[in-house]
Structure 1
């Protein structure tokens, strides 16, 4: 039975953690698939860290908790979680990135996994645009910045995706094993670096529309304009270092 390993970086997310863990573990899955959750607490403050420990304990064996003593960033937590996945996963399994807030809906797991039924597809990206829930505080400038970074990334990689910055990135385990050694970005620069690594490995990438309910900075959104600048630098750097700059292409 194939397993979906969900890697969830966690940083000061006590208020939403219990609900998102419940949604992940109860998400509808394709026939034959099961889910395991790997939470990486990235140096949360004491009260939030305790909430993470309690949440993992209530979930039992379906959740593994890994703790960073100090905050290192989403990318670092993701790499730690992916390394843990590779110690136990089989080639028939898959890994998915999940944020610890409620912006993304695990009900989309089934559609993301369904895209892997095409054998030539090695990775699947979510696509938020057109499904985002409009709300006061949602920054249209942020959406424009994401689209701009995606366009620049596509020019560098040839992937042709519509939402490079989307959290939902699903990789087959053999693909994860190939690209993980190429990942080094410890913060939000990990998103364009994953895209560049997939392109370098000539992995075919599919896209699936996903639900998205953005939160405000007051509610805990962490990405800042400086992360966009870093992402741009990562795109340029990865393009220059790539030995195979253009991937086979995406599949929609």
Structure 2
């Protein structure tokens, strides 16, 4: 088994890849690590894949996975995790803003200090203070409050993991922002943090967009729900469905009593429609909500991605058999 698997998701980063691989090789050779670099091309439209092909031919340690189209960072990480064979898995972005010089300490914190997961903290950032830094602080503050995991920068791409962690979680949608939450949910409680260097972007442009924060908040709610009720959805949907139905039921009883004893009119009162609505909502919530959640969670094609090419593995064998 290799010491380290370095998973690098990338999208249109052709200029930075040669420098990144050279830097990784230099650091790993200096410390005597056996390693592999798994570069996952998430449907790049530039020459990134051709660069990966050249690097794979030049370096025995470089492997490549190419998506047929852009699926997102979560999909890239998930495929990289499945392919990784190292004892410690380290993830980093391809834009050279993450420094490979952090690899030795990230590796040591897993193998010596015994952490299950170590997340980088870009304490000093070179991003725009208004459009990225401030929203990021607010975003991480909400994450800490909701998840209970005290990390300053949960979305940092520079992380290290025990092999068992990445083989025990599934990253889909845009859940890469919440891998520490997924790991904690899977039972890995020893989560650490390391201040890492954040370097100015040298090539290309940022893939940052404001929609990340809206999607991120929704994903956080989703993952919190799944972690608490994924195995027992009836505890949530049944509770609130029952509450809504009983509220409508008791209002109905009150209206019937009023009709019988006080000669009231049922259909011309707002309470009648309130009772009808809450009973219908309660029934639908009870029967439909948790079924839809279970269907989405167990969908067979949730993590199926069209991979056009692979580099660095025996093409006659699936990746799992090469491990």
Q: What TM bracket, shorter-length normalisation?
A: 0.7 to 0.9
Q: Could you tell which deviates more after superposition, 26-35 or 157-166?
A: 26-35
Which has the higher mean CA deviation after the structures are superposed, 44-53 or 6-15?
44-53
* Counterpart for residue 248 of structure 1: none
Question: Structure 2: how far apart are the matches of 1:62 and 1:151?
Answer: 38
Q: 2:106 aligns with which of 92, 98, 112?
A: 112
Rounded Cα–Cα distance in structure 1 between residues aligned with 2:185 and 2:17: 35
Q: Who is 2:121 aligned against?
A: 127
Report the TM-score when normalising by structure 1: 0.82
Alignment of 1:44-123 (within 5 A): 44-45=44-45, 47-59=47-59, 61-85=60-84, 88-89=85-86, 93-116=87-110, 117-119=112-114, 121-123=115-117
Do 1:126 and 1:208's aligned partners in 2 also have CA atoms closer than 8 Å? yes
Cα deviation, residue 156, structure 1: 2.1
Please tell me the root mean square deviation across aligned C-alpha atoms, in Å.
Answer: 2.3
From the CA coordinates, give the structure whose radius of gyration is larger: 2
Q: Does 1:160 align with 2:160?
A: no
Q: Does 1:148 align with 2:138?
A: yes
TM-score normalised by the chain length of structure 2: 0.65
CA deviations 1:164-205 (Å, max 9, x no partner) are 11111211011112223xx212x4x4212x122022124211
C-alpha displacement at 1:3, in angstroms?
Answer: 1.4
Cα distance 1:80–1:7, how it changes in 2: closer, same or farther (>3 A)? same
Residues paired across the two proteins, number: 227
Q: CA deviation at 1:4?
A: 0.8
Q: Following superposition, which runs of at least 4 residues in structure 1 exceed 3 angstroms of deviation? A: 28-33
CA distance in 2, matches of 1:45, 1:241: 35
Q: 1:219 to 1:12 in 2, by over 3 A?
A: closer
Cα distance in 1 between the residues matched to 2:152 and 2:29: 25
Partner secondary structure for residue 151 of structure 1: helix
Structure whose residues are more often helix by fraction: 2
Give unmatched runs, 5+ long, in structure 2: 230-323
